[in-house]
Every structure is written in structure tokens, then in C-alpha cells.
Amino acid sequence: ILSTNELQELSDEVFRLSTVHEIVLNADLKVHMVNFPPHSLENRVKETLHKAFWDRLKKQISASPPDYTQAIQLLQEIKEALLLLLLPQNSQLRSQIEGVLDLELIRQEAEHGALDIRGLTTSILGTMAMLCAPFRDEEVQGLQSLTDPAELLREIFRVLDLMKMDMLNFTIQSLRPYLQECYVQYEQEKFQKILDKLPSNLDNTTEWLRRAAAAVSASSLQSQSCPGAVSSGTTVPSVMSVLNQGYMDLLCWCGFCSQTLLLDQARLQEVQAQVNQLTIIAAVLLVTSGVCGNTLFGSPGFIDRLKLVTKVLLEGACTFARFRYEEALQDISDQVLQEVSRTLSQLGYPAFASEKCTSLKGQIKSIADKGNAVRHIIKQRIHLFLSLFISPDGQNSQKDFPKGLDAIQEELQEVGRRFRSVTYHNRQVFGPFYSAILKKVLFPEAEPDSGRYSM
């Protein structure tokens, strides 16, 4: 049982680990402002509170004599925001901001009725123009036309929030090359700290590798039992073969994830969904090709149109849930038949007989069955390709591309690259942990089980 402080420390470690992990793996990572849907309850509450706040400020500034209490507080927040945007070498600009936005002096001027809000905001806009990214220049310049002090302060805050996002994204981009050089050691150390506090945190990982090792051993025994195979006695699977099997297993399992892959769970689910989708698309194309023949499939753009129709109708069906694919494939069969009929007409060929149309639709709808032979073969070929793609010594040349998958070659290679990115990173970071676990799994009698895994 961990104390509150230990839980907070553990949470901080996980946050730092996940942040570095995301920066290293996601080259497109950018921080964006949170925007609620226009008609959502959250947005209505936000707009109501903001309007009340800024209306109150406008009323205070317009009073006679003006009440600058709230305005001074906002100026202090603006000062802090500007200072956060400075780089360490901007010492001169820092001194300038400190001098212009001297809060003690501003309070004294307000008490004596000599506070020049317009002059201060002009200086603030000048500083923002120097600090903002080039693509924000026009937005900052547009603020100069505002004459109402309350509205101007409100817009200054809005643009400053955007500038803070720009600075954060610039920092992420600048840090990425340095993090990529040391991420393996960093993630290993952070994960080891978490593991020291939660020794049982690798239970799922141990079970995952145990099942993968059993599958590799069973496959090896099966191959040795084939006629003509030369028996090499009892063989212990290698770490690489077990990991390859484990990674491929994740494409078929739902709801399970090793602790060492939790930070990549969303990426793995995306790969799984894309593999499922490509399996259905390739199966639909193969079935349609068998019914329609090469002449129709050679028509310019025909395959691309079928792919697009199938992909659109499969959106959202991310798992092999039977009822969802049955519904999608019903619509797909109708659209494929329409496209086939349209293309036949354009090429001057007679329309299919009703029996052939019924056969085509029936074969496409039957792809929803998990025991469907076409779908099973396609799935096997895709998984074989991906297993070679992620293997460190695998072959990924064009000549090795599986037969029958030419129509989805580009998409499948992109999925393979995403999958390989995750598995390569995972091997680099957690290789020592996996070796220690497999040593205990494969050779439990070699040393007493301490119940802990470490590098």
C-alpha cells in the first residue's frame, strides 16, 4: 500500500515517462488549445462566465473614477505570460518588461488617477510583436485597431494563449533530437523506478511472454514432426522469436496489453483496426476479382473506386464483431454491385445475369463469417508480411510482397512502418526486462524466483 506522497511521486514519474515517450515517437506531436463544440454545455458555461468577467471589467474601467483593481491583476498575469515566453538569453527584453510592467508603480499611478492603460497595452503589443512567431504577426497587428481597453485586454489574453502554445510546440520540436539520443536509458530508468515501487507491475507482461514462448515452442515442435524434418532435439525459443510472436499476438487480442506497452496501447489499437480493415478490403477485392475477371479489374480507376467505397463503409467497424461487419458488408455488396454495373455499361459489356449478381453479393456478405476461407487466407498473408516487417532480420523487399495483396500494398506498408516503429522502440527500451522475464519463464529452475524483475 502506497502513501499519498508515494502515489503522487509515482504519478509524476508516469507523466514524465509518457511525455518523453510521446515526443520521441510522435513526430507530429503538437499541443493545441482545448475548444469545446459550439453548442455544448461546456462551451455555453465558458462563454457565459467569460462574458460576465469581461463585462465587469469594462464597467470598472468606465466608472468615474475608474476602478483599476481587476485590470492591474490582469496586467500582472500578462507580465508573467510575457516572461514565460522569453529565452534565457533575452535578458535585455526581460529588464524592459520588468520596467514597463512595474506593478508597484502601476498601483501608485492608479491610486493617483494617472494610470495610462492605453500606453501600457501599446508597450505590451510591441513586446508581443517581438516574441510571436512570424505567422502570428498579422494577428498581433490586428489588436492595435481595438480602442476599448476591456476588449483589448481580452484579445491580448487570447493571443498570448496562442503564443504560449507556439512556444511549447517549438520547445518540443527543439528537444526531440536530444531526447532521441538518450530516450532508451531515460525510459529504462523511469520504468525501473516505477517497478521498484510496484514489483508486481509486470504480471501481464510475464503472462504475455509466457504465452508467446509456448506458441513458438509448439510451432517448432509441429515443424519438426512434419515428414522429412530433421529433429534437433529440445530447442529453447530465442528472445527475438518470442517477442515477434508476442507482438503479432497483440493484433488478435482485444482488451489485453502488457504493462511495457501501455504507452503505445492507442497506437497498437490503431494498427489492429487498420489490419482488420485492410483484411476486409483485400477480401472484397479478391472475391470481386474472381467473379468479374481481369478485364473489368483492368479498367482505369476501378480498383481505387472499390477500395474507397469499402473503406468508407467500414469506418467505425474497428473490431471483428460479427454483427457490425455483417451490416457493413451488406452495404458494401450493394455498392460494389452498383460500381460493377456502371463500369460494365461504360465499357460496353452486357450486364451480369441476376444469378451472377446474387452470387457476387452473397460471397461479399459471407466475408463477415470468421470461418470464411478468403478472409482467413488474407489475414494469414497480412500477418506473415507484418511479422517479417517487424523482425530485425526480416526481409521486406518488393518481391516478397504476398500474392493477392497488390491492391493494398501501399496501405499495408504504411501500417507495417507504424507497427515497426512501435515494436522497435519497445525492443530498445524493454529488451533487458524481457530477457530477465524470459529467463525466469524458460528456466524457472535456474535461480530462485525473487518475484522482482529488473535490468
| Choice among 73-82, 187-196, 323-332 with the minimum mean pLDDT | 323-332
Residue 209 belongs to some domain of the structure: no
Residue 275: name the closest of 255, 256, 249 by CA: 249
pLDDT above 60: residue 453 = no
pLDDT of residue 444: 67
Residue 446 belongs to some domain of the structure: no
- Is the domain of 163 the same as that of 283? no
Among 144, 178, 212, where does a domain finish? Answer: 178
Indicate if the alpha-carbon torsion angle 125, 127, 131, 134 is positive or negative.
Answer: positive
Q: What is the mean pLDDT of the chain?
A: 86
H or E segment and range at residue 249: helix 239-249
Report, as an integer, the average pLDDT of 429-444: 84
- Is the domain of 415 the same as that of 311? yes
- Is the domain of 150 the same as that of 270? no
**CA distance linking residue 147 with residue 143, whole number of Å:** 9
- Is the domain of 144 the same as that of 275? no
Residue 376: name the closest of 317, 329, 320, 328 by CA: 320
- Is the domain of 152 the same as that of 272? no
pLDDT of residue 320: 46
173, three cell numbers: 520540436
By residue range, what is the domain housing residue 53?
Answer: 28-178
**CA distance linking residue 428 with residue 25, whole number of Å:** 13
**CA distance linking residue 441 with residue 206, whole number of Å:** 8
**CA distance linking residue 349 with residue 386, whole number of Å:** 39
How would residue 327 be classed by pLDDT, with cut points 50, 70 and 90?
confident
pLDDT above 90: residue 32 = no
Among 152, 178, 204, where does a domain finish? Answer: 178
Residue 128 belongs to some domain of the structure: yes
Model pLDDT for residues 178-231, shown as the tens digit of each residue:
888 898 999 998 888 888 887 777 888 999 999 999 999 888 777 665 555 545
**CA distance linking residue 360 with residue 341, whole number of Å:** 12
Among 163, 178, 193, where does a domain finish? Answer: 178
Residue 214 belongs to some domain of the structure: no
Residue 12 belongs to some domain of the structure: no
Instruction: Provide the percentage of residues in the chain whose pLDDT is more than 90.
Output: 43
Instruction: Provide the percentage of residues in the chain whose pLDDT is more than 70.
Output: 90
Residue 345: name the closest of 381, 291, 302 by CA: 302
For the full predicted model, state whether its pTM sits above 0.85. Answer: no
How would residue 97 be classed by pLDDT, with cut points 50, 70 and 90?
very high
pLDDT of residue 208: 92
Residue 442: name the closest of 209, 203, 208, 202 by CA: 209
Residue 71 belongs to some domain of the structure: yes
pLDDT above 60: residue 242 = yes
349, three cell numbers: 459489356
pLDDT above 90: residue 112 = no
Contacts of 124 by beta carbon, 8 Å cutoff, 6+ apart: 78, 82, 100, 101, 156
pLDDT of residue 199: 73
- Is the domain of 174 the same as that of 265? no
Residue 336 belongs to some domain of the structure: yes
Q: Please confirm whether the linkage preceding 65 is cis (ω < 30° from 0).
A: yes
- Is the domain of 293 the same as that of 384? yes
- Is the domain of 324 the same as that of 435? yes
Report, as an integer, the average pLDDT of 252-274: 87
- Is the domain of 164 the same as that of 267? no
**CA distance linking residue 362 with residue 38, whole number of Å:** 44
Number of domains in the chain: 2
How would residue 396 be classed by pLDDT, with cut points 50, 70 and 90?
low
Model pLDDT for residues 38-55, shown as the tens digit of each residue:
888 888 998 999 999 999
pLDDT above 80: residue 248 = yes
Residue 86: name the closest of 29, 23, 171 by CA: 171
Cα dist from 356 to 203, 300, 309, 352, 368, whole Å: 54, 23, 21, 6, 20
Per the listing, cell 507482438 goes with 247
- Is the domain of 271 the same as that of 372? yes
Residue 145 belongs to some domain of the structure: yes
